[in-house]
Amino acid sequence: MIKVLAACGAGVNSSHQIKAAIEEEMKNRGYDVQADAVMIKDITEEMISKYDIFTPISKTDVGFDIKIPVVEAGPILYRIPSMAKPVFDEIENVIKQLNK
Amino acid sequence: MSELNELFNEKLIFFENVTTQRELFESVGSRLLEKGLVKPEYTNALIEREAHFPTGLDLSVVGENVPNVAIPHTETEYCNAEQVVVVKLENEVPFHNMISPDKQLNVKFAFFILNHQKSAQTDILSNLMTFFTQDDNVKALSQLNTKEEIYQYIQSKTTKRSALI
């Protein structure tokens, strides 16, 4: 199973939508993905070490070096397929490279 | 969980004549506090959060001449209700872009998302996004002049068809 950490400023609206969209799309593409949604300010090195991919709403400074692949997921929020596809494709590429 | 159309209220549609984001947040924040919909710290939380995590949405990707919107919101602890407050700005107000925070855009409508239950609101934003990106809805809204018209338009576009039959 691939674990994804979605994040936004308040940890309520955007990150939950990113989480739900990634889980649904990756399931449709045949991957077993489980995502969580958090507030950016709550992220710690220890927390992020438990995940395979980090998908913040936008370019994000969490105050330390992130050692897992990062895919900026904001365009998913528009729910416009042509905007979401490049993000999903990038996540799928990362999943393939994880080789899990 | 409430359907999107149930989150709007004609009394929670405001026209604001302001020039800055701060004025907008202070004005809307005090209206919402008066109605008991938010906690006293709401306005400061809104200002603080918007500075670090902006909420402007560039709708030029939806179509030509579609006005931009913003979706200001705070963490759940500052809200007492689940509502969407619609604010039409007489003059567009600059916001930073939610998905590219270094970019700025001018916003014609602010949809304040109030949410006091951390678990329940996953769908509000996605349903709002569907509204923003379909049927030239935002362009249509900008051509309406009364709160009643705006409320009726939003209801007509967000009420599930099955519920109308």
Domain range summary for chain A, segments of one domain joined by +: 2-98
For B123, the domain range is 4-153
**CATH code for the domain in which residue B37 is found:** 3.40.930.10
Q: Is the pLDDT of residue B162 over 60?
A: no
Give the CATH number of domain A2-98.
Answer: 3.40.50.2300
Mean pLDDT within A13-35: 94
Does B71 contact A20 at a Cβ distance shorter than 8 Å? no
Q: Mind telling me how many Å the CA of A59 is from chain B's nearest CA?
A: 7
Whether residue B89 lies inside any domain: the answer is: yes
Residue-wise pLDDT tens digits, B85-99: 999 999 999 999 999
Please report the pLDDT score of residue B22 as a whole number.
Answer: 96
Whether residue B85 lies inside any domain: the answer is: yes
Does A17 contact B126 at a Cβ distance shorter than 8 Å? yes
Residues in A 8-27 with any Cβ partner in B closer than 8 A: 8-14, 16-17, 20-21
Does B118 contact A8 at a Cβ distance shorter than 8 Å? no
Does A79 contact B52 at a Cβ distance shorter than 8 Å? no
What is the average pLDDT score of chain A?
93
ipTM of the complex: 0.81
Does B126 contact A8 at a Cβ distance shorter than 8 Å? no
Of the residues B49, B50, B82, B99, the best mutation for testing chain A's interface (the one with the most A CB atoms within 10 Å of its CB) is: B99
Whether residue B163 lies inside any domain: the answer is: no
Residue-wise pLDDT tens digits, A43-94: 999 999 999 999 999 988 888 999 999 999 999 999 899 999 999 999 999 9
Please report the pLDDT score of residue A100 as a whole number.
Answer: 76
Mean pLDDT within B11-32: 97
Whether residue B113 lies inside any domain: the answer is: yes
Which band of pLDDT confidence, cut at 50, 70 and 90, is reported for residue B145? very high
Residue-wise pLDDT tens digits, B53-82: 999 999 998 888 999 999 999 988 999 999
CB of A36 less than 8 A from some CB of B: no
The structural domain count of chain B equals: 1
Residue-wise pLDDT tens digits, B88-127: 999 999 999 999 999 999 999 999 999 888 765 567 888 8
What is the per-residue DSSP string for chain B? Answer: ---GGGG--GGGEEEE--SSHHHHHHHHHHHHHHTTSB-TTHHHHHHHHHHHS--EE-GGGT-TTPPEEE--B--GGGBSS-EEEEEEEEEEEEEEBSSSTT-EEEEEEEEEEE---TTT-HHHHHHHHHHHHSTTHHHHHHT--SHHHHHHHHHHHHS-HHHH-
